[in-house]
Structure 1
Amino acid sequence: MPTHLITRPPHPPVTVRVFTQRFSSTRLGARLARHLAVHRLDAWGFPYGTGFSDDVGAVVGELAANAVTHGRVPGRDFELRLAVLGGLARTGTLRIEVTDTRTERRPPGPDGLVDAPPDADGGRGLTVVAALATRWAVLDRAGVGKTVRAELDLAPGAYG
């Protein structure tokens, strides 16, 4: 009796852990989002104060600050979502998504990013995100608004 090899299409990444929270579109909300993100990472086994935790805190801080500065709609919150994708908590990818409800103010994607002038007071947040994240993108949101997604690949033993 002959044996047959069955090939299967690759599976989409498995979501191992997820954290989702809405925050007020204020500076306090942005700070709280950053604080809770690194706290959640610590609970997931990525210790507070490590390089990885600091990188994630910086990315969340920049994306949350952009959401409350450029994506704010009075009376509407922004949302932070963290997800570990992959087989184990220390391999795969950490996905960070910050969603706001302002559709018309859309940041440039990775291909349209321009460095801020040296004497500018701001305009470097997405440059920081681009430097720390493995990849990032601006996505349309169903209904109104947009999501800025940043992903950081995890390597076994690289963090913690």
Structure 2
Amino acid sequence: MAYRSSVQESTSETPHAMLYGMEMELPIYISSTPVEPETDKVFKTDYAQAMRNNLRAVHDRARENVQQAAKRQKRNYDRGIITQPIQVESFVWLHQEVRKKGRRPKLQFKWDGPYLVTTKLSDVVYRIQKSPQSKPKVEDSNHTKANN
């Protein structure tokens, strides 16, 4: 109940509102709200139409909020990225993510290389090769660093 009634950061909506088109009535609200006699009779077709409109409005707001959250998250991610342009025919180090058995992680060398950059496939993806006889690898710039 706590999860379904909590506003989610990316959608700015509660899961209950996303599913049912209205906010959840929590026990605290039910006990503190005076009961008013119902004067208007709501027809079932009016209720269904109102529910459809509520769901459409909630989903539209959530869609807009998710797009804004994605832009904000990308901006925050890009702020921490330090991009170094890597030139073809330069040497780079490749980050090793595999741990060797029997060695302490803090004693393992985390970078392998140097590798020769043979081709630039996109702004962040490169084809690298350790030696002329070795098989080339395709890596992105987040896993490599320039050899200084």
| Larger RCO (alpha carbons 8 Å, 6+ apart) | 1
TM-score (norm. length: structure 2) = 0.22
The structure richer in helix per residue is: 2
Structure ranking higher in strand proportion: 1
Query: Structure 1 length normalisation: TM-score?
Result: 0.21
